[in-house]
Each structure stands twice: as structure tokens, then as C-alpha cells.
Structure 1
Amino acid sequence: MRLWLRASAMLLALVGAPLALAQDRPPEHTTGWPEMISGDSGVEGLESGPELQRGRTPQAMLADQRRLTAALAALQPERKGVVDAYVVSIALDSDPVFAREARESARVLARRYDAEGRTLVFAGPDGRGGRTLPVGSISTLTLALARIAEVMDRNQDVLVLYLTSHGAPDAGLAYHDGDQGFGILSPARFAAILDGLGIRNRLLLLSACYSGAFVPRLMSDTTAILTAASASRSSFGCRAENDWTFFGDALVNHALRKAQPLADAAAEARQTIIGWERAGRLDPSMPQVTIGDAVATWLAPLETRMPKAATAPVGAPATDALKP
């Protein structure tokens, strides 16, 4: 079962990938969360989306800032008269399954939605020697969205966001990078960022426990949102050794590789996940799919340009964890 964090004065620690000195290995979660709220504010104290960095070396901070600056500078502007997709794929946790999922999801979504030169990937080391990328964080995501808002035509173009991490009940998505980065991205904060930037056309794919909590705050007539679980359920497959979560494997690694409409891909993925959970005797995660009435205005042009040939799934199946 995917780990979850309960919001309190001291959030519980997450257990992650093995500690290793090699630069291409993910950092380990070894300590508890720092105190990020105080008094009796409870969950409400997390609505603003607190983020904390501690103990990261100046050299590492500078190197990552340079990678981020280069990635944002390379983002291509929109094309006049063309509905362009801007893809962001981000892992907010240093457990390497999220890095692997974010990296491959970026490739699948960029191909599907004709987003070469308009794709950003933020993920820590994947433990498999993948190239060094800007690390995912709440600040990184916010800056990336601000840059996309600058270069896109907000009346025409589309944000395609794939976000993979752990989830916190009654709080949001958990940002946890080893022992150095911590935070919560709440539904209220995420909605404020998108709305404040004027990004109205959006396909949001959220792979995390309890991610259904984002649907009421992010939904609009021009938004399609797919989540790995309902607001009250865990999702599965986030073991550090995995290549995919259940949601990522079913939706991205299988359904979205095919030239089928988004609604059909979502239905296929949902049925696949239900089958896997039944086979593993797991409590249903209840993935959520909500597509706004005006989504077709931007989705239809994108799907017209989809590649006709499917690509083959990659990586070990997420269900390998269910094998005895």
C-alpha cells in the first residue's frame, strides 16, 4: 500500500530507497518530518502549501538551479494557430519509483500530444543511471508553470501535467526529497497557482494516494483530471524497487500508448486497476475521472495529431509486487 502522511505538528517519516553514496542513487528518508505548523491550526495550516529545505549544500543548490534555468529557457513558444500541449512530468518524492515513472511518462505524453520541445521533466536520481535532471519540488513545479504561462497561448494551448508522489489524507501531495526537502502541495494551493497564472486548459494526471481530494478544487469546464485514488483511499505500487505505480502502469504505460481517446484510455486504465486490486485482494483505490464539458475544444485537435501506432510498455509490471 502506498505510504501516507498524517498532517500534524510532526509529520511521520516516509521510508524510501536504500542510502548510497553514488551520485546516481536516490537519497534515503532517514529522519522524521520537521515541524512545519504550530499551535492548533491542524490541517488548515497546510493549505498554503508549506515547503522547507534543510541541509542541502550550496553547491548542490546552485547546480540544480542551473539545470532548472536551462530547462525553462529551452522551452519552445507556442505556434500560432496550433493547439500546443505543454507537458510537465514531476516526481515530488525521492523514492526512485517516482523518478522512473516521471521520466517515462514524459516520453509517452510528449509523443502522444506532439510536445517535443515543450516538455519538462523534474525528477531525482532513478537508481538506474538515468541522466541528471532538475529535482522535483513544489518550488520547481511553481516556477515551471509560471514559465509555461509566459510562452503558451492561454486561450488555446494546454497544460498536460503528470505528478507522481505520496499523498497525505486531508492535506494533499507530499514533497519529500531525502532528508533535505519537505512540503505539502494542498488542493487549495495548487488551484491558486493554476488560476493565478491563467492556465485554464489542463489535463491533470495525479498519481498519489488520496489524490481525489484535488478534484473539487481543480475541476472546471476546460479541465480533465484523472487521479489514482479517491479522496479517502490509498493507491498502490509505490515500492522503491518498482518501475511504475498501479496508476502509472495502467494509464500511461498501457492505455495512453494507444491511439484511443482520453476517455477510453481512462476507462481502460480504471478497469485494469480494478482487476489488479481484486487479484491482490487489495482495498479498491477508486480512481477518479472527471472531464469538463468544454475539454473537447482543446482535446480534439490534440487527439487528431496523435501517432497512430502504439508503443510497447516498458519496465517491470507494477503487479510484480503482488507475486509470492
Structure 2
Amino acid sequence: MKLKHNWNKEEIMSIYNRPLMELIFEAATVHREFHNPSEIQISTLLSIKTGGCPEDCSYCGQAARYHTDIKVQALLPTKTVIEHAKRAKENGSSRFCMAAAWREVRDNKDFDRILEMVKEINNMEMEVCCTLGMLTEKQAERLREAGLHAYNHNLDTSENNYNQIITTRNFNHRINTINNVRKAGITVCSGGIIGLGETVEDRISMLTTLANMDTHPESVPINALARVKGTPLENLPKVNNWDMVRMIATARIIMPKSMVRLSAGRIEMSESEQAWCFMSGANSIFSSEDETLLVTPNPSTYKDLKMLNRLGLSPMK
């Protein structure tokens, strides 16, 4: 199968709407062509700076304007972050992601400290990923020089639906940051969230944007909305698992080399529902010892390892 970068929405919609068993079979076949189907990469995501964000992302409990129970926390000490990374590696994680609730990266002492964190974790032979908001090409270059492997900057939703979810920046800001990351030679981690009240057409549009990038994102997180009390989207219904399966399978088929990450929302998914996602091409999960994914509940590493064992899957080295 050759990689394709000129998909149109009708083609991707046709894939998404295939009979479910046919869709899953094709996705599983593509997955086996490009990946080891018995391996799942365990990644750890740590909030190194929590809350107080000036953005108005409707789904996010870290936005300062919403009244949630999430406590604002300054940038964690470097020693604390390194200790988290060491324990994550001991628990089977091969990728360590650091998230800061910033609108954008600023050239200050906090950024200098993050560069030091990246250097130390890179020396531990783990993939290091950051998600810090918008950044310039020069800032991306500094992160690469420090040893950053990947930068996460999700599209979240389609360009047409974007201003229904976020008004404090626009869709092109997302694209510009992704381009800066790519120019610096850092791998791209970019996906989206379903369950925001979007249409199927919005989902297809988001996937089309990703699949038509000159280089497909090396990592594509597919998130189900984690509803946070106090945010505008707190009362939306739980995402239907077959919708997650269709998104994952479609992403796998159109971006076959990418790591497709089953991300937020797993706490509300049964083991069998997650198994369908793995069958459909997901080959990474986020796990944690403290049962959180940033600021929302998440299965523990212990439970995840037991699940993988029962399914005959093993952590990717």
C-alpha cells in the first residue's frame, strides 16, 4: 500500500461509512502491513503546569474563565518531573509527554527549565514529547536541539467547526505551529476530539486535513470528549464507541504508518470496547500511575498492563 497525500473528503467519507465489519477488517489488514499488531506503545502524559490558561477551549477544565474544581499549579520542579519519567519507564512507558497549560511558549526561565527536562528525559532513552501551546520556528529548533522527539498540537476539530469550540485563536494558528515543528525536524503529534457536538462531516474534514499534510503526522491521537464539570460541554452525551472505532479505523487506513493513539475517554470504555479499537488499528494508549490523563480520570498502568496481557498484547519497547 502506497502513502497518499491527496485525499478528498468524499473518499474518506466512503471509507468511514463502510459496513462496520468490512471497515475493521481492512483497517486491521493495513495495520498488520505497517505495524506489529501485538504491540501497544504505552505513553505517559504529565501535566507539568496546570490550569490558568487564557484560552477558551470549550472542552477544557484548565481554562481560567471556567469554574471547575481543577487547581492552578505552577511549573513543577525539574526533579519532580524527572522522577515521574523514571517511574513511567519502570512501568513500561516508552514515551513521556509533558503538557503545560499555556496559550503559547514564551522565551523565559520556564521555557529554559523545560529544555533541561527534555535533555534529561532524552538521556533516559525515552521518546520525549511536549505540548506547550503555540510556538515559533526558533522555539521549535531549541526544543529539537534539546532532544525533543515529538510535539503535540491537536487540530481538535474541523476548520469549519473550529470557532464553535475555540474563539481565542483560529485554525491557522494550529497549522502554523505544526509547520514550525515540521521545519525544525521534530515529529508531529496531531489528532482531534470527537463528541464535541460536531457532525460526521466535521470529523471527515479534520481527518482530511491531517491525511493531506506533506508528511502524515507520525502520531495521531483520537480522543473522546472527557466531560469536565464547569465547562460549556459538560452535559454532552458519552461518545458512542462504534464512532471511536470508525474514526480509528479510518485514520489507520488513510495514514497507515502513523501511530494511532487511543487517548482521552478510555475511563468510560470497557475492556472489550478498547479491544475493538486495537483491532481497528490503535497501537498506543496513555497510562499513568495516578489514574489521570492531564486533569481527567484515566485507567491506571496496573489495570492497563493486565488488560494488555488478557488481550495477548505487550508493551512496545
TM-score tier, shorter chain, comes to 0.3 to 0.5
Work out which structure has the larger RCO, using CA pairs closer than 8 Å and 6 or more positions apart in sequence.
Answer: 2
Q: TM-score, normalised by structure 1?
A: 0.34
Q: TM-score, normalised by structure 2?
A: 0.34
